[in-house]
Amino acid sequence: MSAGHIPFSHKGRSAMNATPSKGSIWVMLKQIFNRIPSRWKFSSMIIFIMIFISLLEFSIPQLTQYTIDEVIPDKEYGSLIWVGSGILVAAILLALLNFLNSYIVSKVGQKAIMDLRNGLYDHIQKLDMKFFDKNRTGDLMSRLTNDVNLLQQLISSSMLQVITDTVTFFAVAVYMLFINWKLTVVLLLTFPFMFYMTRVFGKRIRLSFRSVQSSAGEVSNQLQDSLSGMRLIQSFTNEEFESKRFADRNHENMVANIKSVRLRSMFGPLIDLMNNLGLVAVIVFGAWQVMQGEFTIGLIVAFLAYLRLLQSPVRNFSRVISIVQQSAAAFERITEIMETQPGIKDKETTLDLTEITKQIEFHAVDFAYDEGVPVLRNLNLIIKAGKVTALVGSSGAGKSTVTSLLIRFYDPQQGTIKVDGHDIRDLSLKSLRSQMGIVSQDIILFNGSIRDNIIYGKLDATDEEIIEATKAANAHEFISDFPKGYDSQIGERGVKLSGGQKQRIAIARALLKNPQIIILDEATASLDTESEHLIQEALSNLLENRTSIVIAHRLSTVQKADQIVVLEKGIIQEKGTHEQLLLNNGRYRQLHDLQFPQATPNQKHKPTEQKPFRS
């Protein structure tokens, strides 16, 4: 565990089904406190300031009492200046200390929140693909932004107020018992009812806020889906349909918010009612004591000021409780993520994969994304190092799943996958994945410049290395034609580029990484003839002297592969070279005849003239 991170428990719970932690308000405050740098030094400073503030708060009623009981009856005109100066100095010091206290707590709290958000993001990046399959992007974004922001709001103001008010409450209560225990006991009779209402409403408010934040996550999901798919929405003229879907999610969020507001609106007035009952007790019983000669007028005025100090924490807490409970609900949602452990992770001791000289072996591999729906069944496959292996078959046959297992996005339920005799579960994830480069049909590019996307393959690459990679990928020429060249912005997901340009940038990125294993997943599908020709040349450079796995529907692109594997329903139907498989008259021959129906019987046994990946 890295220094400064919350010591969350690790129970491997599902992020969406975890049970909220009991006593999570105190757990939340404790774990946020644990993230504060030099927390004991900071705590000592805050406690000292709060004690000084409490003393100043006590001094003003004392000076008021002295003025009423001593200065006025004895007509001590000279004392008025000193009393007024004392109250003024106390007020100025209170303002300065409250500012200092608030600033220090907010500054330190912001650092704790920054650390929490960084820790949450780091943890999410370590989670496996199953987690992202089950959890929506919008909801995860909501937890990283909205939920953490709620904690930020708590720390910025509310937490300081809760701590200060708690200290003030007990200090004032003790002092009031000392100066008049009878009146204080009468007053405190209302407080058990206030604490009970706080507890009852607090639980309900937290549950209501959890519904609010869950519905806010659904709104974020809807936004993420619709904004990223705006081209599709507008091309199908489905704006009204999407507006209706968004309105439904927004309405659910509004209903949850109204329920939350109703609870808060009921809670505040009830607390004020209890406070006013306490005020009635002080005025009536205190006046009776004054008339009996047990109490002075100055003392009862001071007592009313102390009553304000005593009731202020309760009144403030009635306002703050919504923020506290909202933050507690947010903290539970954050904790759910932090307590979710990846199913794919390194063992305590791992090996580093530095070179692949022999082969990749799948032995008796069974895999299913969902229980009872097998994708691969008893897969046995050997991929020779430095050779090209092509995976062909119908959609859903399991071709892409083979590569996902090799990268360890998932682990098989049965069987083993070995690289040069090493089970990939014994290899470190970083060393395994660093040896792999992927170019797929669905190219992922980040919003930024062309240079930013290319150097993602090697973050410390020089300009010379970048240009060398783009030339090999047949991309340097079109990049140079842009007004800003490599610094040109490509838009979200590369929207400003054509499909062929995206592919060539992806190939340049893979070339810059210089991996030993290359995975091409439908890399030339849906491209025009000119783009495909350029990309075929670039791919030939990419595959040279590397272990290559090519997934393709178009058989013309894999005819010169060293090994072609035909998959259907997760089972290897046949494997061999292009010529061997044609002679077998099996599933590969059926696929070939479907794609080349114009070929004569003699031509069917010959490779087509389209340039393959390897010459």
Taking only the tens place, the pLDDT of each residue in 405-462 is 998 989 999 999 999 889 999 999 888 988 888 888 777 888 788 898 888 888 888 8
Question: In whole angstroms, what is the distance from residue 149 CA to residue 240 CA?
Answer: 32
Q: 3-state class of 441 per DSSP?
A: coil
Distance set, CA 564 to CA 371, 443, 524, 597 (Å): 29, 24, 17, 21
Up-side HSE of residue 84: CA atoms within 13 Å toward CB? 6
| The dihedral sign for the CA sequence 7, 11, 15, 19 | negative
Please, are residues 610 and 557 in contact by the beta-carbon 8 Å criterion? yes
Is 115-338's fold the same as 386-397+429-605's?
no
| Average pLDDT over the chain, rounded to an integer | 78
Given pLDDT bands bounded at 50, 70 and 90, which one contains residue 35?
A: low
Q: H-helix or E-strand containing 164? A: helix 159-179
DSSP β-bridge partners for residue 366:
414
Query: Per-residue pLDDT tens for 527-545?
Result: 555 555 666 777 777 777 7
Phi then psi for 219, rounded to 5 degrees?
Answer: -60, -45
Q: What integer pLDDT is reported at residue 604 of this predicted model?
A: 44
Residues 6+ apart with CB under 8 A from 470: 454, 476, 479, 504, 505, 508
Query: Per-residue pLDDT tens for 521-531?
Result: 876 654 555 55
Q: What integer pLDDT is reported at residue 365 of this predicted model?
A: 93
Query: Per-residue pLDDT tens for 138-157?
Result: 788 878 887 887 777 777 65
Phi then psi for 358, rounded to 5 degrees?
Answer: -115, -80
Q: Is the pLDDT of residue 592 over 70?
A: yes
Q: What is the CATH number of domain 115-338?
A: 1.20.1560.10
The strand pair at 422-423 and 414-419 is best described as antiparallel
Q: What integer pLDDT is reported at residue 565 of this predicted model?
A: 92
- pLDDT (mean) for 162-176: 74
Matching residue, tokens 């009921």: 266
Question: 549: closest CA among 358, 432, 410, 388?
Answer: 388
**Structure tokens given for 371:** 């229980």
Q: What integer pLDDT is reported at residue 58 of this predicted model?
A: 74
Q: H-helix or E-strand containing 440? A: strand 436-440
* Structural domain spans, the chain: 115-338, 386-397+429-605
Report which DSSP code applies to 449.
Answer: B
Question: In whole angstroms, what is the distance from residue 148 CA to residue 120 CA?
Answer: 9
**Domain at 386-397+429-605, CATH class:** alpha beta
Please, are residues 543 and 611 in contact by the beta-carbon 8 Å criterion? no
Distance set, CA 149 to CA 22, 111, 144, 207, 377 (Å): 22, 13, 8, 18, 47
- pLDDT (mean) for 230-257: 78
Given pLDDT bands bounded at 50, 70 and 90, which one contains residue 376?
A: very high
338 backbone φψ class: left, alpha, beta (φ>0; ψ -120 to 50): alpha
As a whole number of Å, the CA-based R_g of the chain is 35
- pLDDT (mean) for 372-391: 89
**Structure tokens given for 349:** 């001791």
**Structure tokens given for 417:** 């996958």
Please, are residues 149 and 331 in contact by the beta-carbon 8 Å criterion? no
For residue 37, the one-letter residue type is: P
The strand pair at 388-393 and 547-551 is best described as parallel
Question: 322: closest CA among 243, 270, 257, 260?
Answer: 260
Please, are residues 507 and 530 in contact by the beta-carbon 8 Å criterion? no
Query: Lowest-confidence range among 9-23, 150-164, 225-239?
Result: 9-23
Question: 315: closest CA among 204, 208, 191, 207?
Answer: 191
Please, are residues 328 and 28 in contact by the beta-carbon 8 Å criterion? yes
Q: What is the dihedral of CA 223, 226, 231, 234, to 10 degrees?
A: -110
| The dihedral sign for the CA sequence 394, 132, 450, 466 | negative
Query: Per-residue pLDDT tens for 250-280?
Result: 888 888 878 877 877 777 677 777 777 777 7
Query: Per-residue pLDDT tens for 176-222?
Result: 787 777 777 877 777 777 777 777 777 777 677 777 777 877 787 77
**Structure tokens given for 346:** 């390194």
Helix extents (H) in 449-495: 450-454, 463-472, 476-481
Task: Quickly list DSSP for 24-64.
Answer: HHHHHHHHHHHTSTTHHHHHHHHHHHHHHHHHHHHHHHHHH
- Provide the edge-to-edge strand list for the sheet that holds 422-423: 376-384, 359-367, 414-419, 422-423
Question: Which comes out higher in pLDDT, residue 518 or 323?
Answer: 518
Matching residue, tokens 């009031």: 176
Q: H-helix or E-strand containing 521? A: strand 517-521
Query: Per-residue pLDDT tens for 79-134?
Result: 888 888 888 898 899 889 888 877 777 777 777 778 888 888 888 888 888 888 88
- Percent pLDDT > 90 in the chain is 8
- pLDDT (mean) for 241-252: 83
Can you give the pTM of this predicted structure?
A: 0.70
